[in-house]
Amino acid sequence: MQLLLAENEQKTIEYLTKGLREDGHAVDAVGNGADALALALAG
């Protein structure tokens, strides 16, 4: 499953991304909602 993670705390991004990838998910992580929206709209 492809996931988009928006989180402003770098340590939280690292923790969540690591766990999700270990469970077999593809993760795109960004530092804020504006970047998440831009990435989602870009496809």
Separation CA 27–CA 5 (nearest Å): 7
* Predicted pLDDT at 22: 98
pLDDT in tens, 12-43: 999 999 999 999 999 999 999 999 999 999 97
The reported pTM is 0.84
Q: Is 12 helix (H, G, I), strand (E, B) or coil?
A: helix
Separation CA 24–CA 27 (nearest Å): 9
Residue in this structure with the two tokens 């705390």, named with its chain if needed: 9
Number of domains making up the chain: 1
Domain housing 34: 2-42
Count the helices and strands in the chain (H runs, E runs).
Answer: 2, 2
Task: Decide if 43 contacts 19 (C-beta within 8 A).
Answer: no
